[in-house]
Amino acid sequence: MPARSGTSIRSFDIMARSAPPPLLAADIAAALAAGDHGDPFAVLGPHDVGKETRIAVVLPGAESIEAVDQETGATLCRLDPVVDGVFCGSTADIGRDDPYHLRATRGDDTWTFDDPYRFPPVLGDQDEYFLAEGSHRHLWEALGAHPVTHCGVDGVHFAVWAPNAKRVSVVGDFNTWDGRRHVMRGRGATGIWELFVPGLGDGERYKYEIKVANGDVLPLKSDPVGFGGEHPPQTASVVRDLRDHQWRDQDWMAERQRRNAVDAPISIYEVHLGSWCRKPDEDNRMLSYRELAETLVPYASDLGFTHLELLPISEHPFDGSWGYQPIGLYAPTIRHGTPSEFRDFVDACHAAGLGLILDWVPGHFPTDRHGLCRFDGTPLYEHADPREGYHPDWNTLIYNFGRREVANFLIANALYWLESHHVDGLRVDAVASMLYRDYSRKAGEWIPNVHGGRENLEAIDFLKRMNETVYGDVPGIMTVAEESTAWPGVSQPTSAGGLGFGFKWNMGWMNDTLSYIAKDPVYRQHHHNQMTFGIAYAFSENFVLPISHDEVVHGKRSMLGKMPADGFDAFANLRAYYGFMWGHPGKKLLFMGSEFAQGREWNHDAALDWHLTDQTPHGGMQRLIGDLNRLYRDNPALHQRDARSDGFQWVEVDAADESVFAWIRYGNDDPSPVLVVCNFTPIERSARRFGVPASGHWREAINTDADIYGGAGRGNLGGVDTEPVAANGFDQSVSITVPPLSALFFVAER
């Protein structure tokens, strides 16, 4: 074809070779459109191109986009479509660091928004260092979803750990759950991905879309450090603003250390919030945190309890797990309200003089696809080998405690509840399952440790570091271990070779005494040691005596249902048992409903049978628990030396044929010891003599057979006087009427 006049073929060739390159290469645009680009900040947002600023945007569904002046709305730059959903343009009217808005159109719709890719990172070098090292104690301040003001703009900063992901996007209603629109910035070796999304705030639903190395996209994941969740069965995380709560518990916090001490009176009311009480006239709904603050808190306080303990309130997908299979360790469950409302509940507890303990589950997590299971396509939080990483009993996964980032995630979570929510203590669930690699496993189903043993060395180290950290960082708190074996030093300091817990549940005492009390009284003389054996090791740990939820469910029957008789004797048996428990060394824990002798087993789907408290034996039991709590709290002899052998002395230990037990409790600050006498037969012991360490009048402070408790009213007319008659190794003694199936408390008056 001949050239046009004045132009040669050679000239056309030169012009073609010197034409400016496209603003955005087609292959890069295609990768952005497909959500395959692993480094969107290298392309999207403003970039210098010669003397102009290039702006690239991914917005599937838009027909046109302009960069506009933030104040006037005047057009600064038109962005042309490169491929479907990807737009690019350039202008000399703004610099790379100048603010601008984007205006998009689709049909008759026009909307304006801020470009998330024009903002620098939120996380700093120090955050990166501590995250990489696995030592970021305030992990929740770096990861998760935080409403913030960044570069003068309000929005939400998202950050998540997914080191093996090819690409991570935050998705939600704000981007029609489209993972191409908000691809996050990778932070290199830390494995952290972050993105500031302007214009978002509290209440926004979101998840993470993760593309793995082979290009597969995982099921959408909830945020491991999310502070809120949707109402189950929905599973999205929800942005919650944790800033600026106005705490009102300064007085409580100032004296918390005294209230949580080993020598303090600690009587715990264990509660499952979802079934303590419900609203039957409102579709049987659960109570909110604020309603519980108005009902549960004064109830527990009026009954003389010193602490509430809540079954796990971390977000969990299945009601039937009672919270022990949590998905969102950092999120108070939305079943009862928002984090702000939960903090109001904590404030109410403290205003009423109640400490708050949470059940905490670092031992395992469920396999739900939206949770931590293979979070970035790899066994990230769990072990790869099921012989280390799978719980056969609970169909759950086990945390890899030896991985520094996982241990950091869990230790920071403990600090989060104690610091950010002013919680007073954590009861650590299923510690025994963490300590032993062969827990509930047959031969060949577990892997020995590096020394060939069964101890889980990584879990042991984790528990020690957790306790060292929380006790070191948060004054006055307590940790409690549910540990069912004879592992030594659970509640001893780590410096002395212990695990560092403040207290340990006394599961042996619980099993022995419940076995005894369930027997017909005629056979109890043959099992006398079940009630006395606990003293042999009572001072080896700082013990809590637990009558917990596990003892009144799954066919174990209620506390009243465990008694070997019916009617009057069943209540008398249970009253005597509670007297034995409150007089025995060790802090106290009682599960809800047991305080008024609910007849049926606990049902997590239904409220307690509160109507029973209007009936004399049930209401009397409730009154007894209140009086026992007040006696225990007000008499130093009953609590100050709970963990010291010099606070206890047997008076009558071998009266097996009578099923009678008697002992003295001593305190530090009060010269008045307390005599406790129990009779576990239906036979009255008249004029039964017991030696005592002090002469004078001994006031009958509690008699579980009193008519106000539903008993027969037999007793000692308010007290007894000593006589110079030697008994039980003492020079002085008292003659007491011990009613059938009863426990008596006598306080020396000086």
SS3 181: coil
Give the Å distances, CA to CA, from 583 to 274, 327, 649.
31, 40, 12
Q: At what angle do helices 250-259 and 339-351 cross, to 10 degrees?
A: 70
Peptide bond just before 739 cis, omega within 30 deg: no
d(C-alpha 190, C-alpha 1), whole Å: 61
- DSSP-assigned letter for residue 401: T
In this structure, the number of other CB atoms found within 10 A of the CB of residue 645 comes to 12
Q: Which residues pair with 702 in a beta bridge?
A: 745
Among 388, 395, 399, CA closest to 224 = 399
3-state secondary structure 108-139: CEEEEEECHHHCCCCCCHHHHHHHHHCCCCCH
First vs last Cα of the chain: how many Å apart?
A: 125
d(C-alpha 24, C-alpha 47), whole Å: 11
- DSSP-assigned letter for residue 455: B
Give the Å distances, CA to CA, from 661 to 543, 577, 733.
21, 12, 15
Q: Which residues pair with 715 in a beta bridge?
A: none
Which uninterrupted H or E stretch holds 159? Answer: strand 153-161
In this structure, the number of other CB atoms found within 10 A of the CB of residue 387 comes to 13
Sheet holding 697-703, edge to edge: 648-652, 660-665, 674-679, 742-749, 697-703, 719-721
d(C-alpha 98, C-alpha 109), whole Å: 27
- DSSP-assigned letter for residue 459: H
d(C-alpha 318, C-alpha 324), whole Å: 9
d(C-alpha 46, C-alpha 105), whole Å: 20
Question: CB–CB of 482/429 below 8 Å?
Answer: yes
- DSSP-assigned letter for residue 92: S
d(C-alpha 579, C-alpha 584), whole Å: 8
Q: Of the listed 429, 541, 551, 642, which one is catalytic?
A: 429
Q: For 236, list phi and psi in degrees, rounded to 5.
A: -70, 150
In this structure, the number of other CB atoms found within 10 A of the CB of residue 51 comes to 7
Q: Of the listed 223, 482, 642, 700, which one is catalytic?
A: 482
d(C-alpha 389, C-alpha 403), whole Å: 13
Among 230, 215, 253, CA closest to 315 = 230
Question: CB–CB of 170/182 below 8 Å?
Answer: yes
Burial class from Cβ neighbours inside 10 Å (0-12, 13-18, 19+) for residue 54 reads buried
Tokens at 419, concatenated: 């610091």
Residue 512 designated active-site:
no
The dihedral of CA 4, 7, 8, 14: what is its sign?
negative
SS3 287: coil
Residue 283 designated active-site:
no
d(C-alpha 133, C-alpha 694), whole Å: 61
Tokens at 643, concatenated: 């963990």
* Catalytic positions: 429, 482
